Amino acid sequence: MTEEESKDLRKKIAELIIVRISGYHEDEQRNYPRWEVNNEELKTLIREGLGGVIILGGSTYELQSRCSELQKLSTKKLLICADVEEGVGQRFHGGTLLPPPMSIGRIYNSNPKKAKSLAEEYGHCIGNEARLNGLNLVLAPICDINNNPENPVINIRAWGSDPLTVSELTCAFHKGIKKEGVLTCAKHFPGHGDTNHDSHLMLPNLKHDLKRLNEIELIPFKSLIESGIDSIMTAHIKLENIDSKNPATLSYTILTELLRNQLNFNGLIVTDALIMEAISKIYGSGEAAVLAIKAGADLILMPEEPFQAIEAIFMAIKKGEISKERIERSILRKQSALQRLSSKELDSRNFQEIRRPGKLLAKEIIRDSLEIQNPGKIGPSSNGINLISVENAINCPFLNRPAPAIVLPKMAGYRSLLIDKNGISPWTGSKNEPLDLDLIGKAPILLQLFLRGNPFDRGMEMQENWINAVIQIQENDLLSGLVIYGSPYLWQKIINITDKNIPIAFSTAQIQEAQTQALRRLIKSEVIRGKNQEASINRFID
């Protein structure tokens, strides 16, 4: 192989690599420097043929200019993607933030037709904002069936807990997003919904066989393949009864024999991030990339060391372990996907105008999925305590100073006390010990629990503590109201042990619109609609 041929081959390999970058322009602004390549490395990778980027952080305005700059640096069309499962605002300030998919899944239980219409509108909203801001690949929908209540990583990111709900809603979502000509990605194949471990931190191991997968987990993927899904992302899980050696991401049996050959998927197979510890704890950066290509993956997402990954694949080709034709096939699939991108002109209207339909959609989903018991029963208090539990108070964008969860109870006379798993423990001892009511204060307590299960967060572990705490607060006759934002599994447990006379609300969403709707329904209207107070609320809440 000549030097020119080697250079050309490395460029072709680089076309299959997607690296993570920050949406901020300056390296010093990166929130996750371990995961995000710096600007100098990025320019080098683009010169060497990089295939795409996954972006996180910054505002929508920064995202637009960042995407424009990237395309100017590259001699070919880049894949520019983001994890915006719940709206562009999930990752970029200024975009619409929508309720999680399971909100629509709960509407589906009583009104399937309405839920499918909302799911399609949900996809259209995300696709529209993604395209307007320069993204061309949305890493959604989640096709995992969350049939394990203890799942710490999927949870309410899923559309539901049964195959029919997930299949119908993800197909409706896909129909909506494709109206905008944005590429889509079904994840996480062959199904991450029944795990009780987070693959960002360790490799989950499941005992499901192919019969079980065909009956449950694969149903949404099959439907989306028929609907023309552009790409499918792998799951970092081990299915020991299907491949006893390799995780799904690195399994030829799962990616090629099952997904390609049996399910006849002809689109792009994308690995989940190889930097996740389910993979990086076990395999080196180059080793994981080579094994993923051998297994049947087309795109390598977030290798820990991208330059090492390129070189390792190059050496595997030189040794005859991977054929050049194999690389060419993946490049052709990528080029075919890029040709399906929208040719629409960017909308000239102000981006805030574009966002309005998304804000209205969020309100409608929350309204239709909100559950209330004993509305309008929380009255004013002279010494009430608004006890708020969050998973991580430092990284909590929905609970800033003017958040409705703080402002509305304050108008009813409740002072806020915020606690999280990293702060001062409200418990007298270890897990399942009683609350320290002397620390909290023996006064009427409005309890607001923000617990949903997030990647990297072990907030699910706090749930049992709060079940016992609700019992304790009730026994002391101090519980004046309760709102749960997030986990429907916690809601089901708590509603069964809560006094039927207690005002209680549940929303799968944690965003400020959910706080507004829940608390306005629970707190007596005259308390928050007194002289000059409605204007005060609306100054903070819209």
Q: Would you say 345 and 45 are in contact if contact means Cβ atoms under 8 Å apart?
A: no
424 CB-side CA count, 13 A: 7
Q: Would you say 248 and 192 are in contact if contact means Cβ atoms under 8 Å apart?
A: no
Residue 172 CA to residue 124 CA, distance in Å, equals: 10
Torsion angle of alpha carbons 512, 518, 524, 525, nearest 10°?
A: 60
- Give the orientation angle of helix 463-475 with respect to helix 488-497, to 10 degrees: 20
The residue annotated as part of the active site, out of 124, 188, 200, 208, is 200
Is 272 catalytic? The answer is yes
Which residues are CB-contacts of 80 (< 8 A; sequence separation ≥ 6)?
Answer: 52, 53, 55, 67, 70, 71, 134, 135, 136, 137
The token pair at 407 is: 């402002």
H or E segment at 372? strand 371-373
Q: Which residues of the chain have a pLDDT value below 50?
A: 459, 531-542
CA angle 438, 440, 441 (to 5 degrees): 65
Please report the pLDDT score of residue 539 as a whole number.
47
The token pair at 214 is: 């065909």
Please report the pLDDT score of residue 109 as a whole number.
95
Q: Would you say 289 and 261 are in contact if contact means Cβ atoms under 8 Å apart?
A: no
The token pair at 313 is: 């694949």
Is 200 catalytic? The answer is yes
Q: Would you say 292 and 304 are in contact if contact means Cβ atoms under 8 Å apart?
A: no
H or E segment at 471? helix 463-475
Side-by-side strand order, sheet with 504-507: 371-373, 504-507, 479-486, 445-451, 384-389, 414-419
Own/partner pairs, 395-402, CB within 8 angstroms, 24+ separation: 396/420, 396/450, 398/450, 398/510, 398/511, 398/512, 398/515, 399/450, 402/540, 402/541
Please report the pLDDT score of residue 532 as a whole number.
44
The structural domains of the chain, ordered by start, are: 8-338 (3.20.20.300), 370-540 (3.40.50.10870)
List, in sequence order, every residue forming a beta bridge with 388; answer none if it has no partner. Answer: 418, 448
Residue 494 CA to residue 478 CA, distance in Å, equals: 16
Q: Would you say 16 and 331 are in contact if contact means Cβ atoms under 8 Å apart?
A: yes
The token pair at 380 is: 């004013």
Residue 389 CA to residue 202 CA, distance in Å, equals: 26
Q: Could you identify the residue written with the tokens 């037709």? A: 113
The residue annotated as part of the active site, out of 83, 144, 272, 298, is 272
* Number of other CB atoms surrounding residue 353 within 10 Å: 9
Per-residue pLDDT reduced to its tens digit, 310-358? 999 999 999 999 999 999 999 999 999 999 987 765 555 555 555 668 8
The answer, as to whether pTM is greater than 0.95, is no
